[in-house]
Structure 1
Amino acid sequence: MNTSPTDSMKRYYFCFLFILCYPLLSPYAYAQNKVRIACIGNSITYGHGLTNREQNSYPGQLQTLLGANYEVMNFGVSSKTIIRNVDNSYVDTPAYQQALKSNPDLVFIKLGTNDSRLPYRLQINRFVPDYKLLIQTIKALPTHPRIILLSPVASFLTDTTRQTDQAISALVIPRIQQVAFDEKCELIDLHALFIDHPDYFPDKLHPDSLGTAVIAKRLYEAVISQEEKGFDFFKTINEPVKVSSFYGYDCADFVLDGRACKVVKPRRAAKGLPWIWRARFWGHEPQTDIALLDRGFHVVYCDVAELFGNAQAITAWNNFYAFARKAGLAPKVALEGLSRGGVYIYNWAAANPEKVACVYADAPVLDLKSWPGGKGKSKGSLADWEIFKKDYGLISEEQALAFTGNPIDKVADIVNGHYPLLHVVGDIDEGVPVSENTAPFEEKVKALGGQIQVIHKPNIGHHPHSLPNPTPIVDFILNATHP
């Protein structure tokens, strides 16, 4: 049908006016398109002690970071607990009912701090079932929201009747991790982000606006993170599997080619399927692994103890790498080696430079003559020295002393991989002296133009490994795996 220019112009102006007037005709149209985020919590969520709490609480700062396409709602109420049937139960508040009616797409739950204080801690065995009931109620909402559990932040109180960090760490956080495992909820570990920041807590319990900014930034990262939808590593494992909780995450134990292996999967696998490979001492000082699981990394382990990075160990790791790649994980992996694990990760990295995204080595053994040999400042370990010699077929002490298969002997191969290196060392480490391991290794790496950063811990020996707040380590790995 032919139309005149006049008719066409009329239709054009009608559409133009309709677009202009649509917000007036439908005042809820824009709001309905927003992502609605409900922040359930206690006084820290509410913003206790903050000037202009509406803006400076972490929900307020999260709103600023996310912008107009999101609506962040603060349902925090001071002094409230997860535990029910007590005088301060969160579920008895009007805010809880408002949260349930808010049609949320995403719910952050930051409760548990007050459950650690007297008298509530006397009923701590009710924490898990009561928390599960809260989560199940939220899961049943018509919007079926994404649910993220937040651990309590650190506390610097010393009054043992109150919310001390010892009580929070021992009584509350493990129970939150159990709930996350049982209910298959996402987790964010806020506790480690604050353990070294008493300066953020003017009253030793509530963070100031700088502290709430740290929380808001971490939640912002979770909100905008991209997911590799539909991926489930466990479905690719054809061997018998035993699943258990690794700090709230699903950990699969199985045997591959005769080697004990582990894979821990995140609740939401990050885009690109990044992963970190722990070489040794599974579960020891796990804060970096937990933080990366929170961000969608897989954490894996293939037991090659005690092979000290020999050809057999490299072959076993090559087989596991092929298995992980067939399952779908990223082509390049972040390597994590504590103590003697440094030998394992660097010897494999030197043989497989194209497969390495970065290396995080913690108090690493880089010269086996230093440890376990004890041929320098270290006392070494005679039993492990004999295992090392057997692993490499070294019959005499002279052969062992002439050994050139250490990471410190392979610096050129490591640097040619063009992946960044991070070492964390204790400056008074007597077991694995820095002067015999990281220091000469660092010097060689820099001389060849390699990328290495060393974090020194003054007045710290071989233990404890890692950092109480793993942020510098986590940021290094994120930068290397998400260029």
Structure 2
Amino acid sequence: MKAKHQKIKSIFLILILFLITTSPILLSALQKNFAIRVACVGDSITYGAKIEDNFLNSYPAQLQLFLGSDYLVGNFGASGYTLQKSGNFPYWNHPAFQESSAFQPNIVLIMLGTNDTKPYNWTGTENFLADYRELIAHYRSLKSQPQIYLMTPATIFPESFKPANGYKMQADVADLVSNAVKELGEEEHLPVIDVHAYTRTHPEYFLLDGVHPDAYGAKAIARLTFEALRENESSFQK
């Protein structure tokens, strides 16, 4: 029986490989119908700004490689956008917000907050969390009833890389945001992927400008996310 199962699995893998190499459009259609859909909600770090060939090297693209063909990962990153509705560019107003909802994801990964740390955007933890709770409620209301993961924003390194100063993001506020996200995760009983704590010890990933990770940094974030998803795999099987 075990040998038969292995044979079926081998045939399936060969079929998937054939589809990838001969008909990407057909594979995409199959994924949309049968794959576990993962929506990566975020800002420029999710989008993959500054990364060469971000279509291939952004963290969502590399997460797709880690997860394999049973998953379809959508990149809904919006460069420069905030979680707070009072921010200069609220994520709520970007087409990616509507697109991430229409995607009807089985898993939602939220990594917003970096642009909220700018002096003219930051209005305090209370306002930030109020809008975050509303965002969580929105995704919970989707027909697909997704498992939601909160991701703390990456560490900012303005003291090491002067280009980061031009973005006017505040590293100390990023610390506040990260702590708030972790507390919100406990409050809402949602898993938290602590990107902030992980990247704090890896400034080498942010040599581009002190804010955006390079392809290696994006891969590290993808791996961290992959490991977190694997730990909770049984809870989001479609």
Q: TM-score range by the shorter chain?
A: 0.7 to 0.9
**Per the alignment, in what secondary structure is the counterpart of residue 62 of structure 2?**
helix
In structure 2, distance between residues paired with 1:127 and 1:156: 22
- Aligned partner of 2:197 in structure 1 is 192
Q: What's the CA shift for 1:114?
A: 1.1
Q: Is the 8 A contact 1:156 1:164 kept in 2?
A: no
Aligned residues: 206
Q: Is the 8 A contact 1:151 1:189 kept in 2?
A: yes
- Quick one: which amino acid aligns to residue 220 of structure 2? V
- Aligned partner of 1:156 in structure 2 is 157
- Aligned partner of 1:117 in structure 2 is 118
Root mean square deviation of aligned Cα: 2.4
Larger strand fraction of residues: 1
Q: What's the CA shift for 1:28?
A: 4.5
**Aligned partner of 1:218 among 224, 228, 237:** 224
Larger helix fraction of residues: 2
Q: Is the 8 A contact 1:83 1:124 kept in 2?
A: no
- Aligned partner of 2:97 in structure 1 is 96
| Distance change in 2, residues 1:122/1:226 (3 Å) | closer
Structure 1, unmatched stretches of 5+, are 1-22, 230-267, 269-483
Does 2:181 match 1:181? no
Once the two structures are superposed, the pairs formed by residues 66-77 of structure 1 within 5 Å of their partners are 66-77=67-78
Q: What's the CA shift for 1:181?
A: 2.2
TM-score, normalised to structure 1, is 0.40
Structure 2, unmatched stretches of 5+, are 1-22, 160-164
In structure 2, distance between residues paired with 1:71 and 1:214: 19
Q: Is the 8 A contact 1:115 1:124 kept in 2?
A: no
Once the two structures are superposed, the pairs formed by residues 32-431 of structure 1 within 5 Å of their partners are 32-158=33-159, 159=165, 162-169=168-175, 171-202=176-207, 203-225=209-231
Q: Is the 8 A contact 1:45 1:59 kept in 2?
A: yes
Q: Is the 8 A contact 1:118 1:161 kept in 2?
A: no
| Distance change in 2, residues 1:30/1:207 (3 Å) | closer
TM-score, normalised to structure 2, is 0.80
Larger radius of gyration between Structure 1 and Structure 2 = 1
| Distance change in 2, residues 1:28/1:49 (3 Å) | closer
- For residues 72-117 of structure 1, what are the alpha-carbon distances to aligned partners after superposition, in whole Å with 9 as ceiling and x for unaligned? 0000001111110332111111100000110100010000111111
In structure 1, distance between residues paired with 2:34 and 2:96: 23
In structure 2, distance between residues paired with 1:37 and 1:227: 13
